[in-house]
Amino acid sequence: MSFKHKLAAGLAALGVLASLSGCTLGKSFDYAAKVGEVEISSGLYLYYQYASYLDAAEQSQKNPKEVKTVLKEQIGEQSATDYIKDQTKARCISYAAMENLFDKEGLEVTEEDEAQIEANVNQNWDSQKKVLEKNGIGKDTYRTLVRSALKSSKLFDHYYGADGLTPVGDDELKAYFESQYLHISFLALPKLNSESNAISSDGIATINDLSEQMLAKLKDGATMKEVADEFMPQVLEVGGHSFAEGTDFVQQDFINKDTENYSTYPMNMINQIKADGVGDYNRYEAAQYTFVYQRQSALANESDFTSARTSLLVEMKEGEFSEKSKAAEEGLEIVYNEAAVKEFSPKKIKYVAS
């Protein structure tokens, strides 16, 4: 599993749906709405409307290219249009709440932060601007959104970072890592051939027999690499797979124990791993692979914890942080520039695959 800093990753993720400038869709407005003292520019409003449209397309399970079709759908008890308006409103209020909270905590965007923001804008804008400009989305508001994501990340660190108000120590994070994640080292024996077709039943029998031999050797004290070097060439030969000399076939993964729909492995396999003891070897026959694996401690390698630390912190505290953000939204009211909102109708949305 590749761990990701969810808040910091928001900076890059904003490249998927960048931003809007003040001059949009043929008319210019000073602002689209105000939430307390926070002004929602036309660009921000249109960005949030487009993001809400994508949510509506997903909720209705319709192709986002078919804007008219999506807008005719019902989402729960709402029309898609009303759903989009409500979600846009919620996003505007959330943005304003984050701005207010950042200021309340006395934080600031430094020159170094601004350089990071600019680097992100320069890196991501060109690859995203086609769809964005089709919807009146310009570069200035993209910069505003990237800055907002950075503020969110700084707020999080202000609360929970090493020098934060309520820092989380390594002992607590390690305990969370060990309790929340299954760690496996494994060999994946393919049951499809090199052309992605099913291997014959005799071939499958051979692969499963080899996996039994691998498991026996592991239990007798051989290392995973020793077993891989001896048996994986035989396994791959069954399906006509080629491989480079010196290939390291041993893989590892971290699986969140709370996962209910983990796409990489069948749930029955995950439940089997849960039942295994730390250090145990086992095998599992899935549809496309037979896995030979060892369950290990999540803390088997200090480097794994080091690389995961930031993401673990976010994972532990994101619920609490979300509650703080939601609390900051209480009492906030949005006042629309009716002329702008009328001009920025969802009917004018243009979907372009990025």
- Rounded to 10°, the helix 6-13/139-160 angle is 180
For residue range 218-263, list pLDDT tens digits in order.
Answer: 999 999 999 999 999 999 999 999 999 999 999 999 999 887 666 6
Integer Cα distance of 188 and 269 in angstroms: 13
How much is the average pLDDT of 268-285?
96
Neighbouring CB atoms inside 10 A of 90's CB total: 14
Name every residue whose Cβ is closer than 8 Å to that of residue 103 and which is 6 or more positions away in sequence: none
For 277, which DSSP code?
P
pLDDT higher than 50, residue 30: yes
Distance separating alpha carbons of residues 13 and 33, to the nearest angstrom: 25
Is the pLDDT confidence value at 352 over 90? Answer: no
Calpha distance 318→71 (Å, rounded): 33
Better-scored residue on pLDDT, 216 or 263: 216
Record the tokens describing residue 117, joined without a space: 């923001």
Give the model's pLDDT for residue 22: 38
Q: Does the pLDDT of residue 25 top 70, yes or no?
A: no
Integer angstrom CA distances of residue 176 from 99, 114, 263, 274, 299? 31, 34, 23, 16, 11
CA dist 272 and 36 (Å) reads 53
Can you tell me the distance from the alpha carbon of 118 to that of 52, in angstroms, rounded to the nearest whole number?
A: 26
With a pLDDT cut of 70, the percent of the chain lying above it is: 91
| pLDDT band at residue 27 using 50, 70 and 90 as cut-offs | low
pLDDT given at position 262: 61
What average pLDDT does the segment 50-68 reach? 95
Give me the mean pLDDT over the 95-119 stretch. 97
353 against 287, higher pLDDT = 287
User: Closest Cα to residue 158, out of 106, 98, 95?
Assistant: 106
Residue 166 has pLDDT above 70, yes or no: yes
pLDDT the model gives residue 130: 84
Cβ partners under 8 Å of residue 100, min gap 6: 36, 38, 328
Burial of 19 (0-12, 13-18, 19+ CB in 10 A): buried
Q: Is the pLDDT of residue 133 over 90?
A: no
